[in-house]
Each structure stands twice: as structure tokens, then as C-alpha cells.
Amino acid sequence: MAGYTSKKDDHLKRLRRIEGQVRGLQRMVDEDEYCIDVLTQVSAATKALQAFALGLLDEHMQHCVTDAIATGDGQDKVAEAMAAVGRLVKS
């Protein structure tokens, strides 16, 4: 079971809002909106995705990594989580 399963509906709702933001960006470009306004909305969508990713990472650490440590298999999960953190920070 994934660490986010208990909050799956909340996550899907949040992702639908982000999807709406991206659709709004498409509309803005289609309607030739001012560049800075589009960039402002890109920033908002990016921050929303980053917040989602950080929340998911937190749940992974609280559930998956904690469980793996308790069973003695924590090293691989910690390394996997740190790689994910590296990808999030790098982007």
C-alpha cells in the first residue's frame, strides 16, 4: 500500500486544481494574454506542484521509510527518498 493511500481523494482533488491551472495557462496563451500575466500563472502552477510533491515526500518518509526502517530495510528506502529530494531541489 502506498503511503498516500489514506489521503488519495485529497491528492486527486489537488491535482485536478493544478490541472485546471494548466488549462488556464493554455487558454491564456490561446487568447494572447500579456506575457507577464502568463508567467505569473506558470509560477503559481509550479509552486502548487512543488507543494504537492513535498507533501507526498513527507507521507513517503512517514509511512514507507519508517516501515522499512522498522523491518530493517531502511537503507534502500532512505537512499531512494534522498534521490527524490535531489530531483526536487535540482529542478
Question: pLDDT, tens digit, for every residue of 56-75?
Answer: 999 999 998 999 999 998 89
pTM above 0.75, yes or no: yes
Q: Cα angle at 56 between 52 and 61, to 5 degrees?
A: 150
Residue 16: how many other CB atoms lie within 10 Å: 10
Q: What is the mean pLDDT of residues 46-65?
A: 93
* CATH number assigned to the domain with residue range 7-90, chosen from the 4 options 1.20.1260.10, 1.20.58.1000, 3.40.30.10, 3.30.420.40: 1.20.58.1000
Please say whether the beta carbons of 81 and 61 come within 8 A: yes
CB-based contacts of 56, cutoff 8 Å, min separation 6? 4, 11
